[in-house]
Structures are given as structure tokens and as C-alpha cells.
Amino acid sequence: MARDWSDLFITGEAARDESEPAAAAERRRGVFRRLRENLSKTRQALRGELQATLWGTFDEHTWERLEEALIMADVGASTTASVVARLEAEAAEGDLAGGEELSGRLIELLAETARVGDGRIDVRPSPTVIMAVGVNGTGKTTTIGKLAQVFRAQGKTVLLCAADTFSAAAIEQLEIWGQRTGTEVIKTKAGGDPSAVLFDALQSATARKTDYVIVDTAGRLHTKQNLMLELEKMRRTAQRIVPGAPHETLLVMDATTGQNGLQQARQFTQSSGVTGIVLAKLDGTAKGGVVVAISRELGLPVRYVGVGEKAGDLLPFDAKEFVESLFA
């Protein structure tokens, strides 16, 4: 089902404003339009290869070209192999009459693969705690700023927690997002204890009944093991102050790194309780197909995609809409 921002967050009160179906539909169309625009590079890459494939009768060549096109779009070797094998079998059974049916079925299969779980963030009694984790430079801090903007636009109260204390610059960057979105930032000095600043943030959020706390974390420490231990400690701290926290742990991935990013992502999913993916930097890459590989290989829902550096450049993810945008 296609959706827009208004049904991304489930709350006790009805999140969807039914009195404004026209406005909601218009917003959804806007999201779809922007997604299509931002996927143009991937679409071009796929299209060149596919056009030749989708006409005429199917033969060995068809499947080879299709495989090549999908791999070029970074759908990933194993996902590509399984999807193409399935199409080949269906064609052999006589279930696919021509190019149009083939492409329709391809979209269906890819969308099925990219659809994991429910794409929505389950909103709990205040505060809902969202942690952003991931490799340095993938887009965590930027995504947090954009998310703050989304929540503020919904009239929610938000507190940002600068628990990436690795450098002064990291803290300043979050503060800039705080100013931009009218959101308070709880921080400590560079080199400070991330769990201590998280503790402070959650205590004040609880006292003030803040709707959301979004926690920035470091993407690197002196060793990878240190980083994972630190994230683990932060999770325990969060849990002690707010039962069930963090309610959502978003792994932020960089779309331009394609399959390499998947390798790095696994380390986080193994040790830091990731519940969803944000794929940043989808603008300007021809590797948009990586969404399909991520869903399949990590088994986690993609929640949002980042399509630029500005506050409004975060879009809710819908598997079908996304895959359709790759082709048409």
C-alpha cells in the first residue's frame, strides 16, 4: 500500500487526518515524484539494458542481459540470481507472454523482496527513543536533522542527544541541525561519555514528556570492538531510564557505497539491535537497486531514504513505489 508521512507513525491518537484525504493524496504524489526524480540515474542504467531485453522472444541472451542490468543497479548477485531464475522458470512454463509481462513480473518480484515487515515506527508513550547507528560518514547526523524536521512538522516535541562525542565538530553539526529545526540539543564536551549524555537527555525528556528523543552516535572509536561495546552500554542506559528504549535503532547506510556498505552494515546488525534501515544519498547514485539487496540480506525493513542534504530531503519508503520508480 502506498503511503505518505501521515501514516508512517502509529500513535494512540489517529495519526492520519481523514478530514484531509485530498491533501494527503497530494503529499503522496509529491513524495512519489521526488523519488522518481532522485532515482533517475538508476533508472537510466537499468533502462538501457532492459529495453533490448524486453522485446522479442526470450532466450539465453534475455536472462544474461537482465542479470547484468540488475547487477549494475546493485541489486546484488544472489538476489539477482534468484529473481532471474524465477522469471526464467515462469517463462518456461509459458506464464510470461512478452516483454511487458516480464517487466511487470520483475517489478513484482523485486518489490516483494524489498518489502520486509511493517515500515512504520511504532510510537510509544513519551518519550519514543530513536537511536541512529552506522559507519562514519554514512549520513547519521543529517538523517537525524531531517527526522527532527518531520516530527516538528507534525507538531511533536523533540530532543536531540549528541552522543557522538568523538569530536567537537560532530557535536557542532548536530547543534546546527537543532537550530535549523528549532530543536533542543543535549550535549557534553568532546571526548565525554556518550552514555552519560544519553542519561541526561532521557531524564529531561521524561521530566518534560518530550515526544521523541533522537540519539546521534559515533561511527568510529579507537577500535570497532570499542564502538560496539559503547553502543551496547548506551542501550542498557536507555533501557534503565525509559523501559523498552531504544524503541527504534536505525542503521544509516550510504547508497553510493552499494554492496560494500552491506558488508559494514552486518557488523552493526549483529551487535547493536538494529530495527530498521535508512538509506541515505540515493540522490545522484545509479545504485538504487541496493535497496533490494539490503532488505533481502539484512532481513530488516527500510524505513526512509535520504535524497539530499536539506531538511526536507527524507522520504518514507514504500517497496512497490520504489521499485516502480526504478523502471518507469
CA dihedral 57→61→62→67, nearest 10 degrees, is 170
Closest CA to 292 of 74, 47, 68: 74
Q: Is 33 exposed, middle or buried (0-12, 13-18, 19+ CB in 10 A)?
A: exposed
Quick one: 110 or 135, whose CB is closer to ligand GDP? 135
Closest CA to 173 of 137, 209, 198, 129: 137
Quick one: 69 or 170, whose CB is closer to Mg ion? 170
Give the shortest CB-207-to-Mg ion separation in angstroms: 27
Binding-residue pattern over the window 14 to 53 for ligand GDP, x denoting contact by CB under 6 A: ----------------------------------------
140 binds ligand GDP (CB under 6 A): yes
178 binds ligand GDP (CB under 6 A): no
CA distance 200 to 83: 49
Give the shortest CB-253-to-Mg ion separation in angstroms: 14
CA distance 221 to 211: 30
How far, in whole angstroms, is CA 288 from its chain's centroid?
A: 12
Beta bridge partners of 186: 161
217 binds ligand GDP (CB under 6 A): no
The residue within the footprint of ligand GDP, chosen from 44, 51, 136, 225 (CB under 6 A), is: 136
Give the shortest CB-265-to-ligand GDP separation in angstroms: 13
CA distance 312 to 146: 6
Binding-residue pattern over the window 137 to 176 for Mg ion, x denoting contact by CB under 5 A: ---xx-----------------------------------
Q: Which stretch binds Mg ion (CB under 5 A): 51-59, 132-140, 179-187, 320-328?
A: 132-140
* Residue number of the CB atom closest to ligand GDP: 306
